Structure 1
Amino acid sequence: MQRYQLFITVLCGCMALASCSLEEKDLYKPVPESIYSDAAGIGNGVTGVYSKLRELYGSQKGFTLTTMGTDIFQHGKDGGYKFMDDYSTALNASNGYLQDLWNDCYEGINAANTILDRIDAVEMEEAARNRYKAETRFLRAHYYYWLTLQFGDVVYTDHETKGVITDAGRTPKADIWKKMQEDTQFAVDHLDWTAPDYGRVTKGAALHQLARINLLLKDYEGAATAARRVIDEGPYQLLDRYADVFDYNNQQNAEIVFAVQYINNALFNGSGNQGHAFFTPAYDQFAGLKRDAAQGGRPYTRFRPTAFFRNLFDSNDSRFDVTFRICWFYNNSATLPAGRQLGDTVIWETSPGVMSTIAPNTDNMHWGVKKHDDATRASVQDLAGFRDFFVFRLSETYLLAAEALLLAGRPDDAVPYFNAVRARAAKPGTTLPLITAGELNMDTMLDERARELGGEELRWMDLARTGKLVERVKLHNPNAANIKAYHVLRPIPQAQRDLSTVPFPQNEGYF
Structure 2
Amino acid sequence: MKKIIWLFILIVFAFGCNETDFLNETPVSYINSMNFYNTSDEFEQAINSAYTSLQPLHGGRGVGANESGWAFGELRSDNTTFQYNESNRAAMAFEQLDEFTMDSGNGIIASAWDNSYIGISKCNTVLSYIENTEVENKERYIAEAKFLRAYYYFHLVRHFGDVPLITDVIKGYNQAFELNKRVSATLIYELIITDLEEAKGNLPASYDAPDAGRATAGAAKTLLAKVLMWNGRYSDAAKELKEVYTSGQYSLLDDYSSLFDINNENNEEIVFSVQYITGPHNLYHTLMYRFLPHDSGTEYLPLGQIEQTGFNIPTADLIDSFEEGDDRLSTIDFSWVTDKDPVYQNSIVPFTKKYMDNGHTIRTQTGNNVKIFRYPHVLLMLAECYLREGGGDPLPLVNAVRLRAKLQPLSSVSLDDIIHERRVEFHCELDRWDVLVRTGKAVEVMTAHGNQQRERKFVGENSYKKIKLLFPIPDKALDLDPTMEQNPEYK
Task: Give TM class, smaller chain.
Answer: 0.7 to 0.9
TM value normalised by structure 2: 0.84
Alignment pair present for 1:510 and 2:486: no
Matched residue, 2:202: 190
Matched residue, 2:169: 160
Matched residue, 1:334: none
Change (3 A) 1:11 1:277: closer
Alignment pair present for 1:104 and 2:78: no
d(CA) in 1 for partners of 2:76, 2:224 = 27
Amino acid at match of 1:133: I
Matched residue, 1:314: 323
- Which consecutive residues of structure 1, in runs of 5 or more, have no partner in the other structure? 13-28, 329-345, 352-358, 427-431
* Match of residue 178, structure 1, among 190, 199, 205: 190
3-state SS of paired residue (1:391) = strand
Matched residue, 2:43: 42
d(CA) in 2 for partners of 1:231, 1:74 = 34
CA deviations over 1:178-230 (Å, ceiling 9, x no partner): 21111111111111101251111111111111110110121111111111211
Matched residue, 1:61: 67
* Match of residue 407, structure 1, among 374, 388, 391: 388
Alignment pair present for 1:499 and 2:480: yes
Q: CA deviation at 1:462?
A: 2.6
Amino acid at match of 2:5: R
CA contact (8 A) 1:402 1:418 kept: yes
* Match of residue 444, structure 1, among 411, 414, 417: 417
CA contact (8 A) 1:220 1:408 kept: yes
* Match of residue 272, structure 2, among 258, 264, 268: 258
3-state SS of paired residue (1:316) = coil
CA contact (8 A) 1:134 1:186 kept: yes
d(CA) in 1 for partners of 2:100, 2:487 = 15
Matched residue, 2:459: none
CA deviations over 1:327-381 (Å, ceiling 9, x no partner): 25xxxxxxxxxxxxxxxxx7x7899xxxxxxx862798411110001111115xx
CA contact (8 A) 1:324 1:369 kept: yes
Amino acid at match of 1:375: N
CA contact (8 A) 1:69 1:75 kept: no
CA deviations over 1:314-337 (Å, ceiling 9, x no partner): 22110001x200125xxxxxxxxx
Q: Which structure has the larger Rg? A: 1
Change (3 A) 1:217 1:82: same
Matched residue, 2:443: 470
3-state SS of paired residue (2:34) = helix
Change (3 A) 1:249 1:169: same
Q: CA deviation at 1:500?
A: 1.6
Matched residue, 1:419: 399
Aligned residues: 448
CA contact (8 A) 1:221 1:408 kept: yes
Alignment pair present for 1:83 and 2:96: yes
Alignment pair present for 1:240 and 2:240: no
Q: CA deviation at 1:61?
A: 2.0
Amino acid at match of 1:402: A
Counterparts of 1:102-141 in structure 2, within 5 Å, are 102-125=113-136, 128-141=137-150
CA contact (8 A) 1:274 1:384 kept: yes
d(CA) in 2 for partners of 1:292, 1:45 = 38
Change (3 A) 1:362 1:157: farther
Q: CA deviation at 1:150?
A: 0.9
Change (3 A) 1:315 1:377: same
d(CA) in 1 for partners of 2:132, 2:282 = 33
Change (3 A) 1:11 1:183: closer
3-state SS of paired residue (1:259) = strand
Matched residue, 2:409: 434
Q: CA deviation at 1:115?
A: 0.8
Q: CA deviation at 1:66?
A: 2.4
Change (3 A) 1:10 1:66: closer
3-state SS of paired residue (1:390) = strand
CA deviations over 1:3-38 (Å, ceiling 9, x no partner): 33x4556899xxxxxxxxxxxxxxxx9423322233
The Cα RMSD (Å) is: 2.8
Matched residue, 2:17: none
d(CA) in 1 for partners of 2:38, 2:249 = 36
Matched residue, 1:220: 234
3-state SS of paired residue (1:416) = helix
Counterparts of 1:281-320 in structure 2, within 5 Å, are 281-284=293-296, 290-293=298-301, 300-320=309-329
d(CA) in 2 for partners of 1:76, 1:368 = 10
TM value normalised by structure 1: 0.81
CA contact (8 A) 2:252 2:376 kept: yes
Change (3 A) 1:69 1:33: same
Amino acid at match of 2:438: R
d(CA) in 2 for partners of 1:217, 1:405 = 16
The sequence identity of aligned pairs, in percent, is: 30
